[in-house]
Amino acid sequence: MIYIGVDLGGTNIAVGLVDEEGKILLKGSTPTLLERGPEPIIQDMGKLALELLEKGGYTIDDVASIGVGVPGVTNPETGVISFCTNLRWHNVPLTEILSKIIDKPIYIENDATVAALAESVAGVSKGLKNSIFLTLGTGVGGGIIIDGKIYAGTHHVGSELGHMTINVEGIRCTCGNVGCWEQYSSATALIRMGREAAEANPDCLIAKLVGGDLSKIEAKTVIDAAREKDPVAEKVYAKYIYYLAMGIVALINAFDPELFALGGGVSKAGDFLLEPLREEVKKYIFYKDLPYARIELAALGNDAGIIGAAMLGK
Amino acid sequence: MIYIGVDLGGTNIAVGLVDEEGKILLKGSTPTLLERGPEPIIQDMGKLALELLEKGGYTIDDVASIGVGVPGVTNPETGVISFCTNLRWHNVPLTEILSKIIDKPIYIENDATVAALAESVAGVSKGLKNSIFLTLGTGVGGGIIIDGKIYAGTHHVGSELGHMTINVEGIRCTCGNVGCWEQYSSATALIRMGREAAEANPDCLIAKLVGGDLSKIEAKTVIDAAREKDPVAEKVYAKYIYYLAMGIVALINAFDPELFALGGGVSKAGDFLLEPLREEVKKYIFYKDLPYARIELAALGNDAGIIGAAMLGK
């Protein structure tokens, strides 16, 4: 049997046919064109899946299920997307619409949770019982695997790990909470901290790398400048690592997973992220003499969305 | 069958015979006398259990298992207590010693985790799948129940919820971490904040209630003064509620349990704690329009230690 995985993003809809081991057999994508509203977008998911089946020489009878990862909160029992803030979707009956195109079991889930599942089936956390996936991008997204299965909480509103408070006296978050982790450990946060430092130190390498146009600072700018040992950038990056470590330490002390898989833009820094992060985590965990979670890069990159969505039905 | 539960504390060893529903049939206690070291203390657990069996007219054949809750971290697989900071125990082979007195299956677990299990079997979270027990005492202890079972993590170092960072720029904790939740939400923290406020405001009711001897301030002193609407005490207590809410919000956003059960000294404030706490939590959670965890008082009080320990073998 094959599994269809759909990764719904604000720019593209990516669809893939996936085998039982979580390997992508065939994939394709189509622009989301958000302004159309949910119905044609969801129909496009189904149409693209049917096209891929035909292209691959499969029939609908080869399909076990369809899974969809969405950037928001879902109700897997009703098949309704409760909210997708970035898409401006609210109470969208995804399963009802999609099942008119393909009549197979349909599963929906949050995209970071889906990526956590993908890594747990076919990526860096393959075969582990308990793992946490973190995506360090616009925000900090989280997915939790417990006992080899997705853990999304009682009311399916859990694993919003970027919205754990790490600074009770800190920055107010867009979510209404104070000092949320993602205000300190997302790519956005690294950019903000880099820009503030460059404003205060116009001669620093961060400012030079963007030709003085501080609006062009990216996470990579700060990281590149820190690699070059620019003192201002090194200080910003060390602070970023500290904040990231603090959230991971909280999760170790609370969840004690076997592994953290890091994805998202900032994770592209590779060992330049992992090595200082592991050092920093070691300083602050509760049980310093007992084994604790490994911290690694996620392995599947963008494919995690398709693979994890497909594996929802497995 | 009956289950023996042992609650090991720094002052007393409490032992109880517990039925399959988590009801205590008979209980007793004996002073711990810490200075003796682990071996005689563990032998006393067994002897007290045997005495209770005799007193209750039971034989060893009626016993299914023995469970022991300890104020520290355990390795349930080896039956060794890894650390008990307050008892100054380190690598104590509890199961080996106790099995010489009573040859039955022996289970050991952290005491806050044991209390979480007790509440989940016979207390306020009875029958719920996912719940979190918090004890607001000298520190903030935590126990996690997922899918009706104890969740202690991969390496059995999880559920140290009092050591989640809620203030990255905050107070250094005895554990080596920074801004741990228990530095803000334990009874100890409330006392510290009350004392600081009374030092700055010697005419406040907190100071009056202890006759000016600020070393006598207890959590109850601050709470009593806040009940009497003393403005200084009200401010301290509101801050305490805010900190407590922040940790609970982090746990809702991450774990999304069905219920929080609050125990420990501060929980004796009852509705005077629960009502403002629920209001504060509601302000900061991520999904304000979706159902989320209830916050209630734990139901079993001190008996939770015996009941939960007994139920480890069930």
Mean pLDDT of all residues in B224-248: 98
User: Which whole-number Å values give the CA distances from B33 to B10, B66, B87, B215, in the listed order?
Assistant: 8, 22, 10, 27
Could you give the CA distance from residue B256 to residue A162 in angstroms, rounded to a whole number?
A: 14
Residue B288: pLDDT over 90? no
Query: In degrees rounded to 5, what are phi and psi of residue B104?
Result: -140, 165
Q: Which residues contact A236 (CB under 8 A, 6 or more apart)?
A: A190, A193, A194, A197, A206, A222, A226
Give the residues across from A26 on adjacent strands.
A17
Q: Which residues contact A223 (CB under 8 A, 6 or more apart)?
A: A190, A237, A266, A269, A272, A273
Residue B98: pLDDT over 90? yes
Neighboring chain A residues of B146 at a CB cutoff of 8 Å? 146, 151
Neighboring chain B residues of A175 at a CB cutoff of 8 Å? 286
The DSSP secondary structure of B4-65, one letter per residue, reads EEEEE-SSEEEEEEE-TTS-EEEEEEEE--GGG-HHHHHHHHHHHHHHHHHHTT--GGGEEE
Angle at A113 between CA A137 and CA A84, to 5 degrees: 70
DSSP strand pairing (A131-136 vs A140-146):
antiparallel
Which pLDDT value is given to residue A114?
Answer: 97
B44-57 pLDDT, tens digit per residue, is 999 999 999 999 99
Q: Letter for the amino acid at A41?
A: I
Neighboring chain B residues of A161 at a CB cutoff of 8 Å? 253-254
Which pLDDT value is given to residue B206?
Answer: 98
CA nearest to B187, candidates B208, B231, B144, B217: B217
Q: For the domain bounded by B2-121+302-311, which CATH number is listed?
A: 3.30.420.40
Which pLDDT value is given to residue B49?
Answer: 98
User: Which whole-number Å values give the CA distances from B102 to A273, B33, B93, in the listed order?
Assistant: 52, 21, 15
Q: Is B127 on the interface with A (CB under 8 A)?
A: no
Residue that is written with structure tokens 């961060």 in the block? A206
Neighboring chain A residues of B288 at a CB cutoff of 8 Å? 176
Position B191 confidence tier, pLDDT thresholds 50, 70, 90:
very high
Q: Does domain B127-297 have CATH number 3.30.420.40?
A: yes
Could you give the CA distance from residue B63 to residue B57 in angstroms, rounded to a whole number?
A: 12
Low-confidence residues of chain A: pLDDT under 70: none
Q: Output the average pLDDT for chain B.
A: 96
Neighboring chain A residues of B82 at a CB cutoff of 8 Å? 287, 290
Contact A286 B168 (CB under 8 A): no
Position B86 confidence tier, pLDDT thresholds 50, 70, 90:
confident
Give the residues across from A92 on adjacent strands.
A81
Could you give the CA distance from residue A263 to residue A241 in angstroms, rounded to a whole number?
A: 15
Position B85 confidence tier, pLDDT thresholds 50, 70, 90:
confident
End-to-end CA distance of chain B: 10
Which pLDDT value is given to residue B84?
Answer: 87
Cα distance from A198 to chain B (closest Cα, Å)? 22
Contact B177 A243 (CB under 8 A): no
Task: Tell me the ipTM for this assembly.
Answer: 0.94
Domain with CATH 3.30.420.40 in chain A: 2-121+302-311, 127-297
Q: Is B146 on the interface with A (CB under 8 A)?
A: yes
Torsion of CA B128, A119, A44, A9, to 10 degrees: 90
Contact B158 A253 (CB under 8 A): yes
Torsion of CA B82, B93, B15, B163, to 10 degrees: 0
Q: Letter for the amino acid at B51?
A: E
What percent of chain B shows pLDDT beyond 70?
A: 100
Neighboring chain A residues of B250 at a CB cutoff of 8 Å? 163-165, 250
- C-beta separation of B271 from B265 below 8 A: no
Suggest the residue from A165, A171, A251, A295 to mutate for an interface test with chain B (most B CBs closer than 10 A): A165
Could you give the CA distance from residue A270 to residue A273 in angstroms, rounded to a whole number?
A: 5
Q: Is A58 on the interface with B (CB under 8 A)?
A: no
Pull the structure tokens for residue A25. Answer: 């057999």
What is the model's pTM? 0.95
User: Which whole-number Å values give the CA distances from B1 to A50, A142, A292, B4, B53, in the listed order?
Assistant: 59, 44, 37, 10, 12
Mean pLDDT of all residues in B10-36: 97
Contact B254 A158 (CB under 8 A): yes
Contact B161 A129 (CB under 8 A): no
A262-286 pLDDT, tens digit per residue, is 999 999 999 999 999 999 999 999 9
Neighboring chain B residues of A164 at a CB cutoff of 8 Å? 164, 250, 253-254
B108-148 pLDDT, tens digit per residue, is 999 999 999 999 999 999 999 999 999 999 999 999 999 99
CA nearest to A51, candidates A80, A20, A13: A13
Q: Is B240 on the interface with A (CB under 8 A)?
A: no
Could you give the CA distance from residue B37 to residue A179 in angstroms, rounded to a whole number?
A: 44
Suggest the residue from B287, B288, B294 to mutate for an interface test with chain A (most A CBs closer than 10 A): B287
User: Which whole-number Å values give the CA distances from B257 to A31, A40, B249, B271, in the listed order?
Assistant: 37, 36, 11, 21
Cα distance from A160 to chain B (closest Cα, Å)? 5
